[in-house]
Structure 1
Amino acid sequence: MLPLFSPLVWLLLVCVLVQLYYVGYYFLPFARRAPEAAADAPDQPLEEPVSVLVCAHNELENLRRLLPLLLQQDYPAGFELILVDDRSEDDTYLYVQQLAQYYPHVRLVSVGRTPEGLSPKKYALTLGIKSARHLRLLFTDADCIPATNQWIRLMQRGFARPADLVIGYSAYAAETGFLNKLIRFETLLSGAQYLSFAWRGYPYMGVGRNLAYTRAVFQSTKGFASHIRSLGGDDDLLVQDAVQRGARAVVVAEPAAHTLSEPATSWGAWWRQKRRHLSAGRRYRLADRVRIGNFMASNVLFYGISVALLFSRPDWVPLAAVWLVRTAAVCTAYGQLGRRLDDPLPVGVLPFLDAVYFFYYLALGISLFLYRSLRWK
């Protein structure tokens, strides 16, 4: 039998208890929260005009898919669509200019060069925000599409709660293959954290594919000034700075307010994408790093300790019991979150995806520690 006084056994139990706390306090209550008002619900707050900003670098084919869907948004209060052409070498400029001839609310901001040492995307976004005519700003990426024609309306309602920041969810399209399922699992798990933490009053990040904030928020943080030379963080580090200066954040996570993206199609592309995203985490506030780190570390340690016990003890019954409790809890939480966010994964593969992801996460962490150089487009 596994000795109850074994330090590894006690540490394994502590890891499970930490995960059960996150499941019981953050994930399940968020998944079971009251539904948000539908787009056509009566007695909704008055809408205000909004500037929708998209930054693109050689994204012509994606823009041909995205921009018509943005122009079809049902938003009577009115919106302008600002496309920031960031040093594109394709026909992005000509395409947007043609649209602007037919749609007066389509505007083009061109970036010829990025000053030395600055993040290209942050510099491009700054120019786009400075040209915006409205006080509310809504952001997405060129490789995304809105889930419905009510996206703008539902995201803008978040400001009426009231709020200065509106944090949305962006899913990846479901395709065949294990990599696609793993990417969608990682997106769901990340969403479970930043959405439920913000819902509980601890906002720490958003995703630039579906994020809104006011011009006053951007001005209060002096734009991206604190991290303008870092490649990542045009979304999460902006949220960090804004919350630190008193900005109020709300979550809008109904499926009709989502955006959808095409996932990476190779392990290498996803590896580079995740390295860039995780690199910004070093600049998070200490409380946020502790809150996120406790959850991630408890999962990584759980698998590491389990492997050590599996190969060092002859009796696997206690270990199997701990695994069963932990697996049932996390699969229940992830299953309910997937259904609530309209991003479900087969329940039968959740335990396997969970294990693979946390070993992959450990490898990413080691990679960032050893090799910190990153590249942008």
Structure 2
Amino acid sequence: MAAYMDVLNQITETPFYLLLGACGLLLVFQLYFLLFVYSRLAFYKKPPIKKNTKQLPLSVIICARNEEENLQQNLPKILNQNYHQFEVILVNDFSEDETKWLLKELCTKHSHLKVVEIAEHVRLKHGKKFAVTLGIKAAQYEHLVFTDADCVPQSDQWLQHMADAFDSGEEIILGYSPYTRKPGFLNALIRFETFHTAMSYLSYALKGNAYMGVGRNLGYTKSLFFRGKGFAAHMHILSGDDDLFVNQNATPHNTAICIEPEAQVWSEPKTTFAAYIQQKTRHAGASKAYRPSHRRMLATQLVSAFLFYVLAIVSLVLYPWYWPVIVGMYVLRFVVQLFIYIPTMKKLQVKGLIWRLPFLDIFYYGYICINGFFALYKKDVRWK
């Protein structure tokens, strides 16, 4: 009878050991990303400037469609940057509001503002990449800085910091653009997702494996754009003028980051779940064109975290008497997260989210994985 019970216990406990082994393996993956990737940003310090970048002229490129209100509020803060030589190229992409007249008024006050007008063609539809390309062609300087009409620099030193980042021949500068804080869960989720995305792409850039950038705060050289044939490789994808360009052209030696608080560019977040889902679906659609190694890398990080939560919950439901083992794994991961996330959140100006980390983390991975799956079967949408 005792032998029979031993065999029965082994049979019933075997699935638990399999679940435990799977959770342990997923935990190892998660600890790797935290300790050997994200730690690079957590403990990053800006390197000393090697040359006089104050003499580097810059061209700021902004594409806008029906952005009169945002331009009226934000464009003056870009035009009044405390930098010795720069121009602002505003590409007015078939705006149907009063953008044209606002820009004419601003041009009379700011000689370094240049406007490129795009007229809609009945038989020719275009996305943002066409507008960006025209802006680049109109720029007179080699070093380009990009942002959006709904973005505003935190200080008048934004361009100086971006110029400093073009220090030792770098051709791509990855900046950071947080979203403003507002009440509600959606805002917290958007800011956490933006933080997590930035932590990932900035850390990998520091690791010599840059895979994306964000067009709200991005810089690269004009010669790199034309040498890489612009957006030709992914012109058929309506989105991705920022992340796909970086994915295609970044190397271990031509990319730097710029994350000083004075160099961060703030944006207004979406206010409805529908608008947010549409935005993330568009971004997920562009990621299908990433290099295969980058897709595998990102999928491993996201799916391992998602499955860790799923298997941990399943284990607790099916084998509640083993809860100390599962909870111990979770606590280990959480403590390491705090060790990495706290200094990183301070750098990226979202330290208030640390108190919501347990709930936001599990919701984030669930949402991103599920949305990314369905995005594989959706077509791209227009940028405006």
Decide whether the 8 Å contact of 1:81 with 1:107 is kept in 2.
yes
Residues 123-145 of structure 1 deviation map (CA, whole Å, 9 limit, x = unaligned) = 11111111111111100001110
User: Which of 64, 67, 76 does residue 68 from structure 1 map onto?
Assistant: 76
User: Which of 302, 310, 314 does residue 308 from structure 1 map onto?
Assistant: 314
Decide whether the 8 Å contact of 1:58 with 1:90 is kept in 2.
yes
State the partner residue of 1:53. Answer: 61
Task: For 1:115 and 1:230, locate their aligned partners in 2 and report how far apart those are by CA, in whole Å.
Answer: 20
Deviates more, 1:153-162 or 1:196-205: 153-162
User: Which of 103, 107, 112 does residue 105 from structure 1 map onto?
Assistant: 112
- The TM-score normalised by the length of structure 2 is 0.92
| Residue 342 (1) aligns with residue 349 (2) | yes
State the partner residue of 1:148. Answer: 155
| Residue 179 (1) aligns with residue 186 (2) | yes
State the partner residue of 2:334. Answer: 327
Q: 1:17 to 1:277 in 2, by over 3 A?
A: same
Q: Percent identity?
A: 36
* Structure 2 residue runs without a partner (length 5+): 1-8
Partner of 2:89, secondary structure, is strand
Residue 42 of structure 2 aligns with an amino acid whose one-letter code is A
Task: For 1:264 and 1:321, locate their aligned partners in 2 and report how far apart those are by CA, in whole Å.
Answer: 37
Deviates more, 1:15-24 or 1:182-191: 15-24
- Displacement of 1:29: 3.0
- Displacement of 1:266: 0.8
Task: For 1:122 and 1:152, locate their aligned partners in 2 and report how far apart those are by CA, in whole Å.
Answer: 23
Decide whether the 8 Å contact of 1:165 with 1:247 is kept in 2.
no
State the partner residue of 2:299. Answer: 293
Q: 1:116 to 1:165 in 2, by over 3 A?
A: farther
* Structure 1 residue runs without a partner (length 5+): none
Task: For 1:256 and 1:162, locate their aligned partners in 2 and report how far apart those are by CA, in whole Å.
Answer: 22
Alignment of 1:191-210 (within 5 A): 191-210=198-217
Residue 56 of structure 2 aligns with an amino acid whose one-letter code is E
Decide whether the 8 Å contact of 2:39 with 2:203 is kept in 1.
no
| Residue 33 (1) aligns with residue 44 (2) | yes
Decide whether the 8 Å contact of 2:145 with 2:217 is kept in 1.
yes
Residues 239-261 of structure 1 deviation map (CA, whole Å, 9 limit, x = unaligned) = 122126x8711111111111000
Alignment of 1:1-377 (within 5 A): 6-35=17-46, 44-76=52-84, 78-113=85-120, 119-243=126-250, 248-315=254-321, 316-377=323-384
- The TM-score normalised by the length of structure 1 is 0.93
For the aligned residue pairs, the C-alpha RMSD in angstroms reads 2.1
Deviates more, 1:281-290 or 1:200-209: 281-290
Residues 206-255 of structure 1 deviation map (CA, whole Å, 9 limit, x = unaligned) = 000000111111101211111112111100111122126x8711111111
Decide whether the 8 Å contact of 1:164 with 1:249 is kept in 2.
yes
Q: 1:247 to 1:228 in 2, by over 3 A?
A: farther
Decide whether the 8 Å contact of 2:217 with 2:265 is kept in 1.
yes
Decide whether the 8 Å contact of 1:28 with 1:336 is kept in 2.
no
- Displacement of 1:350: 0.5
- Displacement of 1:272: 0.4
Task: For 2:226 and 2:380, locate their aligned partners in 1 and report how far apart those are by CA, in whole Å.
Answer: 30
Report which of the two structures shows the higher radius of gyration computed on alpha carbons: 2
- Displacement of 1:113: 1.9
Decide whether the 8 Å contact of 1:171 with 1:261 is kept in 2.
yes
Decide whether the 8 Å contact of 2:144 with 2:221 is kept in 1.
yes
- Displacement of 1:34: 2.0
Residue 66 of structure 1 aligns with an amino acid whose one-letter code is N
